[in-house]
Amino acid sequence: MSSKEDKPVEQSQSSWKDFIYNPRSGEFIGRTARSWALILLFYLIFYGFLAGLFSLTMWVMLQTLDDYTPKYRDRISNPGLVIRPKAPEIIFNRSAPSEYKEYTDHLEAFLSKYNGEHQQNNIDCTPGAYFIQDNQPLPKQVCKFERSLLGQCSGITDQTFGYSEGRPCIIVKMNRIIGLKPKPTPFINCTAKKDDKLSVNYFPENATFDSMYFPYYGKLAHEGYVQPLVAVKLLLNSSDFNKKLSVECKIEGSNLLNNDDRDKFLGRVAFQVKVTE
């Protein structure tokens, strides 16, 4: 019986070897060299043609695109809000500079592009009116946003942005969307979640993103564009220290969405602050 069982195993082994390379017919994995050459040539042509077609269609498609504005903005009809420093939780000891240095450095770096030397070419626009330049030649002009507008949160007077006194500055920024024209002028309103009372100072004081910074004309056309910012100085008291505060800032007073169920960052942003002494 045992010999009977062994035989097929040997056979299958030899047929396996034959499959890899069959010395009698010169077949390598079921095909002769000539056959392999033919089939590879066929696929070379086939895929070459397909790749060519793909490239052609992609090229045609790219030709139809505008260099300055995307064809559609279906998914981004409303802007998201983000904060600086870029962290969901801001936790520091106000008397330990090493703990908040990270945040202040980040703010400083972020605001550096608002420095005067970067905005020499930018112009002063008329507040309260859209700065429409659809028919203007390229590059489009940029409205000046002075860093000093951020007052105590500009980092000019207080280089620790209030972190050392336990009243940190948070800068709220609205995502850039080409052609977006908020109507009427939106402003930022920050509140504490739950029942905590929170008093804040806004810079600029009306907490608005002024209409003159809209619309945006895109990376290429609107080089050097500076986004308007709103700084929020959280006026924390000693009673607020040592506990986690949940703060939510919303964009209000305009047609921009701030209560989407799914997107928690559409027109609003939530973060937590905990300052220890």
Task: Tell me which residues touch another protein (CB under 8 A).
Answer: 38-39, 42-43, 46-47, 50, 53-54, 57-58, 61-62, 65, 68-76, 79-82, 88, 173, 175-178, 216, 218-220, 222, 225, 260, 262-266, 269
The least distance separating another protein from the CB of residue 48, rounded to whole angstroms, comes to 12
The least distance separating another protein from the CB of residue 28, rounded to whole angstroms, comes to 16
Specify the residue for token string 């000046």. 144
CB 274 within 8 A of CB 89: yes
The least distance separating another protein from the CB of residue 264, rounded to whole angstroms, comes to 8
Cβ nearer to another protein, comparing 21 with 46: 46
DSSP 39: H
Cβ nearer to another protein, comparing 41 with 129: 41
The least distance separating another protein from the CB of residue 26, rounded to whole angstroms, comes to 18
DSSP 147-215: GGGGGGGGSSS-TTTTTTTT--EEEEEEPP-BT---SS--EEEEEESTT---EEEEESTT-B--GGG--
Cβ nearer to another protein, comparing 121 with 242: 121
Give CA–CA dist 235/168, Å, rounded: 8
| Structure tokens that stand for 79 in this block | 């802007």
83, amino acid identity: I
3-state DSSP percent of the chain in helix, strand and coil, to 5: 30, 25, 45
Q: Give just the sign of the alpha carbon dihedral 160, 211, 208, 275.
A: negative
Cβ nearer to another protein, comparing 178 with 235: 178
Cβ nearer to another protein, comparing 89 with 108: 89
The least distance separating another protein from the CB of residue 188, rounded to whole angstroms, comes to 16
